[in-house]
Structure 1
Amino acid sequence: MEIIPTRVHGVLDYFTGILLILAPWLFGFADGSAAQWVPMVLGAAVIVYSLITDYELGLVAAIPMPVHLMLDVGGGMLLLVSPWLFGFSERIAWPHVAVGLIEVAVAALTHRHAGHAGAAGVR
C-alpha cells in the first residue's frame, strides 16, 4: 500500500537524517561507542542519498526512488539490529529499534515513483 507521497517522504528523510545524527546527545548515549556512531553514520548517509535521489527534494537525480527505498529498508534494518550486532543492547537499544522500525515502515508505505519531472528540475 503506497500511501506516503514522495514529497512527504523527502521531508521525513531529512528529518530522520538530522534526528539520527543528534540522537546520541538527545537520548544520552554520546559516548564514542558504536551506539553513538551507527546512527550518526546512517543519518549522514540518509541525507547524502536523499540529496541525490530523483524526487522532489533531491538536488541531483542520480538514483531512482526504488533504489532510495531499498537503501531506507537496508539502513532501517541495520539500525534495528545494531544494538545486538555491535553489542550495546544492554546499555541502549530503544532509539535504534524504534527509528529502524519506522524507517522500514515508511519505505514500505511510500510511492515508488516521484510525481514530478526530476529532482529539483534537474535531469
Structure 2
Amino acid sequence: MTTATSITVRVPLAIRHRPGRKTVVAPVGQDTTPPVATRADPALVKALARAFRYHRLLDEGRYSSISEMAAAERIERGYLGTLLRLTLLAPDIVEAALNGLQPKGTALTAMHAPFPLQWSEQRAAAALCR
C-alpha cells in the first residue's frame, strides 16, 4: 500500500493594491519580464471609453437623441451628457489619461466640472495642475 504524500510549494510574492485591480509582483531577480508601471485612473479610462462609444453611436445614427440613448442604455440623461462632454477634450489630454500620464487635476471627478472648450485653454489648465 502506498502512502499519500503532500508537497508544499512556497512562492514569494507581493500583492500591490491599485485602484480597481490587484497586481502580483515577483521578487527582484525572479522574473525576466519588467513590471507594468501604470498610474492610469481606471474610472477615467472607463468613462472615456464609454463616452467615445456613445458618441460613435450618435454619429452612426443608432440613436437620434441623448434622451433616447439614455433610455435605451438605462442610464441617467444628465450623466450621459456629462460623459459625452469628455469627447471634447484635446486628443493629447485623452492620450495622456489613457497612458496614465494625466495631470493631477484630470481625475474623473474633476472632469465632471465644466472645462474650457478650446484645446489650447484645456492644455493651459492641465499644465497648471501638474
Same fold flag (TM > 0.5) = no
Structure with the bigger RCO (C-alpha within 8 Å, sep 6+) is: 1
Select the structure of larger CA radius of gyration.
Answer: 2
Higher percent of residues as helix: 1
Normalised by the length of structure 1, the TM-score is 0.31
After TM superposition, the score normalised by the length of structure 2 is: 0.30
Name whichever structure is richer in strand by fraction.
2
